[in-house]
Amino acid sequence: MRDDREDVYSKAVRAGKRTYFFDVKSTRGRDLYLTITESKKHTHEDGTAHYDKHKIFLYKEDFDKFIDGLQDVVSEIDRLKATGEYGNGPEHDTKEPPSDAPPFTDVNFEDLDRKDI
């Protein structure tokens, strides 16, 4: 039996220590769906690395509700930051990590071009 499913479009977004993969795929019935994968690299003391990956599947009938929910929570986060309720108002809006944060490790995401993840 022929597998008519296919990868339609992919977008990788690097965000700090994480990479988010947005992959549009087609079902055998030619419906589209989205997978969102979060990948975070962890380096062991011996220098070897592994990636923690978490994936969600988002189907077309849920796109509008998902986008509405995401926009709502992002707006609320922006509002809370603007009011300074959580100490992250404009006066605290920097890219510097908190002083008690562990030191930054430069991460190379070798898996960006891989299709098997």
CA 32 to chain centroid, in Å, comes to 19
**Where does the pLDDT of residue 86 fall: very low under 50, low under 70, confident under 90, or very high at 90 and above?**
confident
User: For residue 14, is pLDDT > 60?
Assistant: yes
CB 18 within 8 A of CB 12: no
pLDDT tens for 26-38 read 998 889 999 999 9
Instruction: Indicate the domain borders of the chain.
Output: 6-113
Domain 6-113, CATH number (from 3.40.50.720, 3.40.50.150, 3.40.50.1220, 3.10.450.700): 3.10.450.700
> What's the start-to-end Cα distance of the chain, in Å?
24
